Structures are given as structure tokens and as C-alpha cells.
Amino acid sequence: MKLTSAHVTNYRNIIDSNVVEIGLNTCLVGKNEAGKTAFLKALEGLRSTDATFKEYGKIENYPRRYLADYAERHRSTEAIVIASTWALENEDVIALEAEFGKGSVVGRTVTISKSFGGPGTLWSVPVDEKKALSNLVARYGLSAEEQKPLADMVGSPATAAALEALAERTPRQTELLSALKTFRKSDVSLRAIDLIDGRTPKFLYFSHYDRMSGEVAINQLATDKQSSGIKTGDQVFLDFLEYSGTTLEELMSSKRFEDLNARCEAAANRITEQIFEYWTQNDELQIQVLLTEGKPEDPAPFNEGPIARARVQNNLHRVSVPFSERSAGFIWFFSFLVKFAQIKKSEGNVIILLDEPGLTLHGTAQKDLLRYFAEQLAPKHQLIYSTHSPFMVPADNLASVRTVEDVVTIDGRGRKVSQGTKVRSDVLTTDPQTNFPVFGAMGFEVTQGLIIAPNTLLVEGASDILYLQAASLVLQKKKRAFLDPRWAICPAGGIDKVLPFVRLFYGNKLNVAVLTDFERGQKRKLEDLYKSDLLEHDRITLATDIAGKDEADIEDFFEPETFADLLNLSYELSGKYKLTSQKLMDADKETVRLVKKAEAYFRLLPSTIPEFSHYVPALYLLKNPDFLDVDDQGRAKTLSRFESAFQRIGKFI
């Protein structure tokens, strides 16, 4: 069974959430107090792994502003909290048909809903009762004569009652009656529900605040357990004990701590190994769970009886500290793995509901947590989690994101009117504050794709990228040195931006090379870049090194007549406005840079001709790379300069 949609109504600040499509991995994004927790708790209440949960509390959870009108608003039935749809999987259909025969399953959608006022749920399972009865009759081989008393019966309970009322039953009639009596109330529909109920996942809800206690007094915990007053952190510790293969009762009755210590140590080691597959913040930590006797001078209740204490050993600093004194993010991660491992062991298939997971984790640790979700949870469990962190939004799967917003409208008198929490799949059309994490995730993902690549070539601007790609295509066609496609070309914005970039991403161990413009006023910036020792000098290629000038841009890789031809074609210059190498060189005799000369020339042209832009000739060249594949001296020298640059850069790939 897979959950496919959930529709929450009449719960806390949710009047009507909308029907929310649920996938294998669903991310709820919204501001604080938007209603994310309310949606998750409503879901949990449908089928909770928490055995103490029985029913939704009407007084506590029905929208307070409508509570006084409850009876009027829901005259015939109790208010529905959640309506859910589920998809039968092939194994579910096989199980139903094994019970009721071929053709008895007439659909793939199961609905389950739950209301205020009781622990029960309302089910709809797509089993054709008439076909199921027909199959059962055929299975037990009832003859036409044996079927006569059942001819007017409608439904399986009536059929069972008719068989029960017979003064004498044939062996085949008795077999059919016995089969029907194994069903709850002799009802095919109820039997179908019971079959699917056992195959339907429960919901495991785990909050950001649910963390294992670092210190537990065993005797006190036993007392709390008897009174059903176990604190959340202590419950996680109980889960840890059960996961380790022991129980609270064993701890209390055992005369040998060594055996129990060994079990706790083995369980702690196992979970520690799981954590460090995904915890990249510090791999020198180790979890220890020790059982000791309470000391008289310790604070109550830790001053007597067996005491369980969790500690974290830092092997780098050779020191251990109490579990509660480690980072909140680490404690949460460990606690969740404990809870999940135990629930999985006891419940099997569960749907995981995580409320603000990893809230206190560093951004990179949150990405590690997403990796854990994808690799460990997604293959076997549906996951629904809430967040307002951009690092927890799966930018590579925005279709899984649902925005959660407490919608407020303005009425005719200009007053604010709450419409309650709405959950939507149109992630980019809601309140800017609501979808801010989505934009943040998208921006981070784009940055990752454009910048943080294993091999990154930094250039001046976007036009440089186009020039390099066009020249590389022609040189590759001629079987000469070209730009290796493994380079990710990133516009850094100038030599003064290179140093901040390298410092920012230095920890990513990128393979970085630089091809940048240079003018005399940037000498100090270049010296600062060299002095930083973050890049070898050979990795920094100046345009002046390739062009053989004191100042140069990438446009200076072109011969003047070639660049003039390129401008004529890209701007459709003709007649008296057609550019020649001589006109270009004379346009500004104060500079050797061709791009500055071009800017000066275009300032003399009439307003009907567009202003000069670095991007226009670069784009034209990319679209028409054959411009360089012409046998003349200017193009030959131009290609040789590009080839020289590619050879320098290629040494570092």
C-alpha cells in the first residue's frame, strides 16, 4: 500500500488543507506557525505507531474559533479530520484475490478517513462483494440445489445468516458457512479491510525536539512506565534498549552488568557506524552507553540504583562528554536513527513523518541528511517532512515540494480574514516568504552547477564563455588543441573577484584555473592573488600573456581585421559604417585594447545602430563558428592564440 493523497480538515489552524498529493518523498515548506506540524500530526493520528494515541481531541484540536458552533456545523456526523487515498500494490491485489478469487478486486484505490469522536476509521476497499461471494460458492462447490436458500440473500452477512438458519446443512454448505464465520461479522467488506489493514503502513512521527535522554535512572523509568508517564527522551532511550536486545525489566533484574553493558555497547557501535556513513562534520566521535550504580552525592533520581549514561567520545581530543552536551544536531541524528531502527524492527513498513528534521544541523550536514533520506529511507519507506531551510529543499526534485501557508484575505471592510492553512504544489506562486527556502535551494543548486564543479575555469564574463566555446569547436574540428569539455567555465567578474571565489570554495578541493583580462591598474590585485598562495602562478593565465600586449581582453586574441569582420557581420554594418581594421585602430589611440576601440567607434555611429555589447559578437560567433574556419592570415593567428590558451589551461585537467 502506498499513500497517494491526504486531505486534512477541521484540525487546529487547518480548515481545509486542499487535497495534497503524496509521493515517495514529500517536502512541506513554510514559515513558522504556517501549519506544517498540524498537517503532520493529523496524518499521524490516522494510523500512529504510538500505541497511546487513540483519538483526536475535539476540545484541544478542533479549530477554536468554530468550537462553539461544532454541533451546528456537523449536525449528522462528527467532523472529519483526514481523508486519505492509498494505492494497492500488486502484492495487495494478490492477497485479496487469494481470499476472494479472481475478478473480485475491481480497482486500485483504497480510502481511509478518520473523524473526531472516536478511535475508529472509515475504509473503502475496492472488492466486489457479489463477485467474492460467487467465487466462494464456486470454491466450495455448492450445487444449484444447495444455492437455492441463498438466492434472495443480499451481502455476505445475510448469506451467513441464511446458512446458519438451515435446519440441516450439507457438508459444502457447512464449509462455506465456516469460511464466512472467519470474517469479522461474516462480512466480506470487513474481511477485505482487515486484510488490507495489516498491509497498510503506520505513521512514525518524529519531531526536531525528540532527542534521547543522556542519563536515565532505571528505577525511576520503571515507575514512569507503570504510570504511562514516560518522557519523550526517556522513550527514545527505551527504544535504544530494545534495539540493543534487552529490556528495562532485564536491567532491573540482572545481577551482572557486564552482559548488559556488552549489549548496549554493541547497539551503540552499530548506530554509530550508520551515523558516520552520513555524518561528515566530525568522524572522530564515538557513542558510549554505560551502565553504572548511582552515587549518593549525585542529584536525585541518579543517586541510587542502576543508572544508564550515554557519552560521546572525541577520539581526536581524547575526551568524552555527556551525550546531552554534544551538538543538538548530532543528538537529534543519533536519536532519530535509534527510533527508526526500533520502529522498523517492531512495526516493519512505516511512513516516516519528520517535523523540521536537522534544524540545528550545519548546511552541509543537512545535505548529508537529504542523502540519507534518498539512500536509506526512500527505497523502502515513504517520507513526508517539513522544513524552512533551503538546504533541506530537494532542488533536484521540486515536484516533491508542497508549500504550506496560513492564508489571510481581506474582506469588504478591509479586515483580515483567515482562510486557514493551505497546502499547495504550485511552489513558485505563493507568498514570497513561504517559498523563500525554495528560491534559496534553487539558487544554491544553480551555484553548485555553474561554479562548484571538480574542474572549474574562471573567466571574466559570459561573453568569454561563448568565445572560448566557439573557438574550441573550430580547433577540435581541425584536430588541434581545444578546451577540454571537463572544464566548467564560470564567469567570475574580473581578476579582483578571483581571490574571493577561490577562498570561498577552497575547502571543496576544486581544480581551478583562471583566464582573465588584465589592465595596468590591476597590478596590485594580481599581486594579492599571487601572494595568497591559493593558486599556483601557472594556473593564472592573463589575456596579455596570449595577446602579447600590456593590456588585453579575450577580444585581443583576434587580429584587428578579423575582429572588425566579426563586428560587421554581428551588427550588419555596411556602406560608410562598415568597419575596417584601420577604422578600428584609429577609433581610440589611447588604448591597445580592441574592445575599448570598438566601444569608441560605436559611439560615433547613429542611434539607429545598437550600442556595442561584448555579448553580441560573442553570440554571433557561437552560432556561426565557421567564421573562424576560413583560410586567411588573420583567422590563422586568431586560432593560434586560442589554441595557446587551451594548451596552458589543459595542463591542469
Residues 416-436: tens digit of each pLDDT: 888 999 999 876 555 667 777
CA distance 162 to 150: 7
**Quick check: 223 pLDDT over 90?**
no
**pLDDT confidence of residue 183:** 97
In one letter, which amino acid is 136? L
The better pLDDT of the pair 119, 265 is held by: 119
Least confident span in 64-68, 70-74, 277-281, 286-290: 277-281
Spatial distance between the Cα atoms of 542 and 552, rounded to a whole number of angstroms: 8
What is the bridge-based pairing of β-strands 350-355 and 540-542?
Answer: unpaired
Q: In which element (H, E) is residue 513 found?
A: strand 511-516
Residue 181, CA distances (Å) to 156, 157, 167 in order: 10, 9, 18
Please, which pLDDT band fits residue 289 given cuts at 50, 70 and 90? confident
Q: Give the other-Cβ count within 10 Å of 511's Cβ.
A: 15
Given a cut of 90, is residue 525 above it in pLDDT? no
Q: Residue 302 above 90 pLDDT?
A: no
Q: What is the pLDDT of residue 430?
A: 58
Identify the pLDDT of residue 171: 95
Average pLDDT over residues 248-252: 75
Q: Are 422 and 407 within 8 A, CB to CB?
A: yes
Residue 209 has pLDDT above 70, yes or no: yes
Q: How far, rounded to the nearest angstrom, does the alpha carbon of residue 339 sit from its chain's CA centroid?
A: 20
Which DSSP letter does residue 555 get? G
Q: What is the mean pLDDT of residues 123-142?
A: 96
Q: 32-46, 296-310, 390-404, 504-518 — which is least confidently predicted?
A: 504-518
- Determine the pLDDT at residue 218: 83
- Cβ–Cβ under 8 Å, residues 339 and 50: no
Please return the burial class of 260, using the count of CB atoms within 10 Å of its CB with bins 0-12, 13-18 and 19+.
Answer: buried
The percent of residues in the chain predicted with pLDDT above 70, rounded, is 94
pTM > 0.75: no
pLDDT in tens, 19-66: 999 999 999 999 888 999 999 999 999 999 988 888 999 999 999 999
Per-residue confidence band for 638, with pLDDT thresholds at 50, 70 and 90: very high
Confidence of residue 568 (pLDDT cuts 50, 70, 90): very high
Q: Which of 313-317, 486-490, 560-564, 639-643 shows the lowest mean pLDDT across its residues?
A: 313-317
Identify each DSSP E strand in 294-397 by its residue range.
306-314, 319-322, 350-355, 383-387
pLDDT of residue 451: 52
DSSP class of residue 207?
E
Q: List strand residue ranges (DSSP E) for 185-275, in order.
A: 202-207, 215-217
pLDDT at position 522? 83
Helix, strand or coil, per DSSP, at residue 29: strand
CB crowding 145-184: b at 16 or more within 10 Å, else e? ebeeebeebeebbebbebbeeeeebeebbebbbebbeebe
H helix or E strand, kind and range, residue 447: helix 436-450
Is 74 within 8 Å of 81 (Cβ atoms)? no
Q: Are 115 and 80 in contact (CB under 8 A)?
A: yes
- Write the burial class of residue 614 (CB in 10 Å: 0-12 exposed, 13-18 middle, 19+ buried): buried
What is the band of 291 on the pLDDT scale with cuts at 50, 70, 90? confident
Of 488 and 592, which is predicted with more confidence? 592
Q: What pLDDT does 287 receive?
A: 78
Cβ atoms within 10 Å, residue 51: 6
DSSP type of residue 210: -
* Spacing of C-alpha 241 from chain mean position: 30
Average of per-residue pLDDT values in the chain: 88
